[in-house]
């Protein structure tokens, strides 16, 4: 289903969590709501789910006004950051909860739950209690529980936030795959730009209750709307008063058109690439990232004078 | 689950193992013996010297015991419902005077029960300012018991409700549950053990309640006379063994209640 959020605002006390936001999410797409903590992205997701009522504005699902429809009638699958497992129910009863309150008969329910447990690779753990599962298993149980009601819209809050790095990488690939399998419009909240870039078709960058930019991961990385977006998506450095990415700076050992003179202060080998820290004549510092091979070729050493120039067409922002 | 239960330490062997080793447990046990064990033994001894069974089954004694247990059960059941309701309102609702209401809940604990009895008599007795006179009825007994046992369930359930993960209810809502379904299927299982414990304590308290009842009930034999008041009457008329016999029955019921509560707590602990 498609979602249109129109002029939505929500304040908690004096704090404007969501500030006049309008955004659309296309059918069947996987969208990341990316931004720093406390920026309002979770509140926006909760408003879409019906867990929070906006102070003003409207939420349309497939063109239908859902602003005041309670969560239970929205048919939305919601996965909470800490999973919100029902602790006194087995995995089977957790996953089957939505079917139970919908009065689906016992046999159908059992069959459906088994299918879902297969889908999330939890076969054999059906009779366990949530406390007896690992973090990754609990996450997958929460996902199966949300999918049981066959939502056309799946919302996830920091889906990998509480997991360790290795499990996180596995689950990412798996979630991408799952999204294609279940054919739901999926929105997830994250503060991790790498996660957003790896998983999402579309990124909505949210900061201080407002949307900074909407686009594909490439759009945001290569054509950031402002310096905040640019800095949030990856490393930046300043060359001649302009923000550029460290890997978008070319290094020359001889003077070159449009080049800025700089003295190398430090060369740091970081495996595949090397980081050059240099000082400009005006005293400001600049960081350049090169492949190790390229750095070797140029024979860069501390104290050398080099000429730096941003690559043509590189993402940049005058600040 | 069975393994988890088996892995729990059994309290008794641990206790005996430590008694010989250190002074602390020994002193605590001695204190408990003097304070609880000795009086219980003395009571049992007194009761045993007479025709225990005939004293307990005498019509007036039996009537008092039956009334006491029935009233205590009714009190526990009503407390379970109203206590959960009050705890819910105190934890979930924001209203003016919430802090005051929260503080007042403990009043029945702080108030000497005879004072409570006097207040109830002047409020719901002859010449009631609110026009309700229930003095010398069983309703008066129930009212007094409900008053003195009010805090048990409220105070048992309140912390559990506070600690409850609100997101589980939101998850239930997203899965299509109506508010009452979310309560019944998600909240209630979490607060059930605390409710049972609170109601059990209220029941035990109601079994022995004296001060708040003695004034307003009128102590009519076969009608409003509860066991504690009956016992007091026996003592005053010099029938100590008769009083002891009825006391032992009360004690036995209280012990069974406590054992049942212990079971409830243990069972709820198995789930993490």
Provide the 8-state DSSP code for A39.
S
Asked, for residue B9, whether it belongs to a domain, the answer is no
Same domain, A46 and A153: yes
Distances in Å between the Cα of A263 and the Cα atoms of A252, A270, A282, A299, B54 are 12, 20, 11, 14, 109
Predicted confidence (pLDDT) at residue B5 exceeds the cutoff of 50:
no
Residue A270 burial by CB count (10 A; 0-12/13-18/19+): exposed, middle or buried? exposed
Same domain, A116 and A170: yes
Nearest-CA distance A68 → chain B (Å): 14
What's the structural domain count of chain A? 2
Alpha carbons B191 and B85: distance in angstroms, whole number? 12
CA dihedral A231, A234, A237, A243 (to 10 degrees): -50
State the Cα torsion A244-A245-A246-A247 to the nearest 10°. Answer: -130
CB proximity under 8 Å: B 201-260 to A: none
What's the domain count of chain B? 2
pLDDT average, residue stretch A57-65: 94
What span, in angstroms and rounded, lies between the C-alpha atoms of A282 and A261? 10
Residue B262: per-residue pLDDT = 87
- Asked if A209 and A257 sit in the same domain, the reply is no
Helix, strand, coil percent content, chain A, rounded in steps of 5: 30, 35, 35
Q: Name which of A78-82, A272-276, B48-52, B238-242 the model is least confident about.
A: B48-52
Residue of B171, B176, B186 lying closest to A102 (CB–CB): B176
Q: Do residues A248 and A283 share a domain?
A: yes
| Inside any domain, residue B94 | yes
Residues of B with Cβ-Cβ distance to A145 under 8 angstroms: 171, 175
- Is the same domain home to B28 and B139? no
The yes-or-no verdict on residue B33 having pLDDT over 70 is yes
Question: What residues does A153 pair with on adjacent strands?
Answer: A76, A185
User: What is the pairing mode between strands A153-157 and A185-190?
Assistant: parallel
Q: Which residue of A has its CA nearest to B173?
A: A72
What pLDDT is recorded for position A272? 86
Q: Pick the last residue of a domain from A229, A249, A274.
A: A229
Residue of B nearest to A142 (CA): B171
Q: What is the pLDDT of residues A62-114, one digit of tens each?
A: 999 999 999 999 989 999 999 999 999 999 999 999 999 999 999 999 999 99
Provide the whole-model pTM.
0.81
* Phi, psi (rounded to 5 degrees) for A230: -60, -45
A-interface mutation test, from B7, B175, B180, B188, most A Cβ less than 10 A away:
B175
Phi, psi angles (nearest 5°) of residue B260? -65, -40
Q: Name the band, by pLDDT with cuts 50, 70 and 90, for residue B7.
A: very low
Give A-chain residues touching B170 at CB under 8 angstroms. 51, 71, 78, 80, 84
The separation between CA A6 and the C-alpha centre of its own chain, rounded to angstroms, equals 22
Q: Which candidate from A49, A84, A129 shows the least CB-CB separation from B165?
A: A84
Least confident span in A241-255, B50-64, B100-114: B50-64
Does B5 map to a domain? no
Considering A197, A229, A261, which residue would you say is the last residue of a domain? Answer: A229
Last residue of a domain, one of B47, B69, B86: B47
Q: Give a yes or no: residue B121 inside a domain.
A: yes
* Domain containing residue A298: CATH number: 2.40.50.100
Residue A78 shares a structural domain with residue A204: yes
Q: How confident is the model at residue A319 (pLDDT cuts 50, 70, 90)?
A: low
Residues B170 and B241 grouped into a single domain? yes
Say whether both A121 and A38 belong to one domain. yes
The chain-wide mean pLDDT, for chain A, equals: 91
Indicate the pLDDT class of residue B12, thresholds 50, 70 and 90. very low
Domain co-membership, B40 together with B121: no
A41–chain B nearest CA distance, Å = 17
Whether residue A277 sits in one domain with residue A174: no
Q: What is the pLDDT of residue A216?
A: 95
> B151: distance to nearest CA of chain A, Å?
27
pLDDT at position B267 is: 82
pLDDT for A210: 95
Interface test with B, best of A43, A53, A78 (most B CBs within 10 A): A78
Residues sharing a CB contact under 8 Å with residue A277, sequence separation 6 or more, in sequence order: A264, A265, A266, A267, A268, A285, A286, A287
pLDDT score for B34: 85
Considering the domain architecture, whether residues A98 and A195 belong to the same structural domain is answered as yes
List the domain range (segments joined by +) for residue A203: 3-229
Same domain, B21 and B124: no
* B183-236 residue pLDDT tens: 999 999 999 999 999 999 999 999 999 999 999 998 899 999 999 999 999 999
Q: Is residue B3 part of a domain?
A: no
Nearest CA in chain B to A146: B175
pLDDT for B49 equals: 65
- The CATH number that applies at residue A79 is 3.40.50.300
- Domain hosting residue B242, numbered range: 52-271
B136 and B23 within one domain: no
pLDDT tens, B123-139?
998 888 888 888 899 99
The verdict on A74 and A130 lying in the same domain is: yes
Q: What is the distance between the alpha carbons of residues B16 and B25, in angstroms, rounded to a whole number?
A: 9
Contact A78 B189 (CB under 8 A): no
Read off the pLDDT of each residue in A278-292 and give the average, rounded to a whole number. 91
């Amino acid at each position: 289903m498609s979602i249109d959020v129109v002029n939505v605002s929500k304040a908690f006390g004096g704090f404007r969590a969501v500030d006049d936001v309008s955004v659309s999410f296309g059918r069947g797409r996987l969208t990341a709501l990316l931004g720093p903590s406390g920026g309002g992205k979770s509140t926006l997701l909760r408003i879409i789910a019906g867990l929070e009522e906006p102070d003003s504005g409207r939420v349309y699902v497939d063109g239908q006004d859902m602003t005041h429809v309670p969560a239970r009638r929205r048919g939305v699958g919601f996965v909470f950051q800490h999973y919100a497992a029902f602790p006194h129910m087995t995995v089977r009863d957790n996953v089957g909860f939505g079917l139970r309150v919908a009065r689906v008969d016992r046999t159908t329910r059992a069959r459906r739950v088994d299918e879902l447990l297969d889908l999330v690779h939890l076969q054999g753990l059906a009779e366990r209690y949530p406390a007896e599962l690992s973090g990754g298993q609990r996450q997958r149980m929460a996902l199966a529980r949300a999918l049981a009601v066959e939502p056309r819209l799946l919302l996830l809050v920091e889906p990998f936030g509480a997991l360790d790095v290795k499990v996180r990488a596995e689950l990412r690939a798996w979630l991408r795959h799952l999204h294609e399998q279940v054919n739901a419009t999926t929105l997830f909240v994250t503060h991790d730009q790498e996660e957003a870039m790896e998983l999402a078709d579309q990124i909505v960058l949210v900061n201080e209750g407002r949307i900074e930019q909407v686009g594909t991961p490439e759009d945001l990385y290569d054509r950031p709307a402002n310096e905040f977006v640019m800095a949030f998506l990856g490393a930046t450095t300043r060359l001649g008063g302009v923000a550029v990415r460290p890997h978008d700076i070319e290094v020359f050992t001889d003077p070159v058109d449009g080049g800025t003179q700089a003295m190398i202060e430090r060369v740091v080998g970081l495996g595949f690439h090397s980081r050059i820290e240099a000082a400009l004549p005006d005293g400001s510092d600049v960081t350049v990232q090169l492949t190790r091979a390229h750095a070797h070729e140029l024979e860069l050493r501390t104290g050398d004078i080099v000429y730096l120039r941003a690559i043509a067409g590189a993402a940049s922002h005058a600040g | 689950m069975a393994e988890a239960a088996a892995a729990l330490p059994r309290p008794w062997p641990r206790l005996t193992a430590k008694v010989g080793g250190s002074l602390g447990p020994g002193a605590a046990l001695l204190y408990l013996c003097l304070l609880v064990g000795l009086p219980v033994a003395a009571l049992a001894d007194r009761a045993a010297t007479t025709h225990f069974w005939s004293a307990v089954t005498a019509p007036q004694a039996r009537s008092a015991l039956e009334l006491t247990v029935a009233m205590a059960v009714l009190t526990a059941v009503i407390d379970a419902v109203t206590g959960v309701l009050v705890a819910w309102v105190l934890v979930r609702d924001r209203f003016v005077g919430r802090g005051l209401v929260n503080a007042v809940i403990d009043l029945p604990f702080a108030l000497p029960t005879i004072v409570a009895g006097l207040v109830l008599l002047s409020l719901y007795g002859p010449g009631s300012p609110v026009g309700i006179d229930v003095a010398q009825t069983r309703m008066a007994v129930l009212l007094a018991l409900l008053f003195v046992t009010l805090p048990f369930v409220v105070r048992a359930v309140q912390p559990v409700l506070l600690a409850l993960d609100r997101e589980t209810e939101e998850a239930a809502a997203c899965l299509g549950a109506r508010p009452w379904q979310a309560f019944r299927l998600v909240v209630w299982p979490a607060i059930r053990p605390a409710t049972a414990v609170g109601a059990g304590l209220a029941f035990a308290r109601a079994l022995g309640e004296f001060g708040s009842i003695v004034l307003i009930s009128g102590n009519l034999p076969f009608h409003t006379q509860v066991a504690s008041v009956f016992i007091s009457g026996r003592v005053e008329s010099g029938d100590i063994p008769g009083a002891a016999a009825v006391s032992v029955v009360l004690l036995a019921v209280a012990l069974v209640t406590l054992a049942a509560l212990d079971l409830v707590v243990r069972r709820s602990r198995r789930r993490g």
